[in-house]
């Protein structure tokens, strides 16, 4: 959901390759852990394996998941911080199982795993207290640390696995927006359209949840550089 091409679309053009997208908006890693109505990652992988498996030797398997999981885990008022941490760990464990499944069943050997952006800066959390924002930040950082460790683990198992540090990129966008031609890092363009149009759509966020196509392009260019250096 954005106002133009997504980062995956930009990246496929930069790389000169076809894009096969099995992701669903609103999905989580595992509906048994963080329930939602969209097919979870395991179901998306099953859909890929059933309908159009590709040649694994020439395919880059990309996973970017966690925004909905971490959001729902964090805002669940029925759980304490210990339970939230345990549910977050189950997200990472689920990703491990799904990547092993792709490797063993589909022969996947090239992975790109995207870290979680600083969703504590989403317009959605604009009214959050400093204490709540700090708790969310810590959950995000721990999730990313475990995801990075998982990527390293996968890379030691006869696969090529690259971790993309989305968090650091977004921190750069937030701290030095002018360097990326971004005029607003706080508000959502979709709900601030008169001003959004006046600065030619130079917003970081499209709506309360998603980045603009401008931000998507920056992500794609950075991912492309990382892949070329890997």
Instruction: Read off the pLDDT of residues 3-14 as tens digits, 9 standing for 90 and up.
Output: 889 999 999 999
User: What tens digit of pLDDT does each residue of 83-131 get?
Assistant: 999 999 999 999 999 999 999 999 999 999 999 999 999 998 988 899 9
Tokens 């109505």 belong to 37
32 close to 87: Cβ distance less than 8 angstroms: no
Q: Using a cut of 0.85, tell me whether the model's pTM lies above it.
A: yes
Greater model confidence, 157 or 63: 63
Distance of alpha carbon 45 from alpha carbon 41, whole angstroms: 6
Which SS3 state, helix, strand or coil, does residue 176 take?
Answer: coil
User: What tens digit of pLDDT does each residue of 77-95 get?
Assistant: 999 999 999 999 999 999 9
Specify the pLDDT at position 195.
75
Q: CA nearest 106: which of 52, 29, 27?
A: 52
Specify the pLDDT at position 78.
92
CATH of 7-167, one of 3.40.50.300, 3.40.50.1110, 3.40.190.10, 3.40.50.20: 3.40.50.1110
212 close to 204: Cβ distance less than 8 angstroms: yes
* Mean of pLDDT over the chain: 93
Q: Give the residue extent of every domain in the chain.
A: 7-167
Q: CA nearest 214: which of 3, 40, 58, 57?
A: 3
What are the φ and ψ backbone dihedral angles of 86, each rounded to 5 degrees? -65, -40
Q: CA nearest 116: which of 174, 182, 163?
A: 163
43 close to 37: Cβ distance less than 8 angstroms: no
Q: CA nearest 12: which of 20, 4, 3?
A: 20
């Amino acid at each position: 959901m954005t106002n133009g091409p997504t980062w995956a679309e930009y990246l496929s053009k930069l790389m000169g390759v076809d894009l096969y997208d099995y992701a669903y908006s609103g999905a989580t890693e595992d509906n048994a852990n963080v329930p939602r109505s969209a097919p979870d990652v395991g179901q998306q992988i099953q859909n890929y394996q059933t309908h159009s498996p590709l040649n694994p030797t020439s395919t880059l398997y990309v996973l970017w998941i966690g925004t909905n999981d971490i959001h729902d885990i964090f805002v669940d008022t029925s759980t304490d911080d210990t339970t939230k941490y345990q549910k977050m760990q189950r997200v990472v464990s689920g990703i491990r199982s799904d990547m092993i499944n792709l490797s063993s069943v589909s022969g996947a050997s090239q992975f790109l795993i995207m870290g979680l952006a600083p969703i504590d800066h989403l317009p959605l959390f604009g009214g959050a207290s400093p204490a709540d924002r700090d708790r969310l930040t810590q959950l995000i950082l721990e999730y990313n640390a475990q995801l990075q460790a998982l990527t390293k683990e996968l890379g030691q198992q006869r696969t090529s696995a690259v971790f993309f540090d989305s968090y650091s990129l977004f921190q750069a966008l937030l701290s030095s927006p002018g360097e990326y031609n971004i005029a607003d890092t706080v508000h959502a363009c979709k709900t601030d359209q008169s001003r959004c149009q006046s600065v030619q759509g130079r917003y970081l966020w499209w709506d309360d949840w998603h980045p603009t196509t401008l931000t998507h392009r920056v992500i794609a260019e950075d991912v492309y550089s990382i892949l070329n250096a890997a």
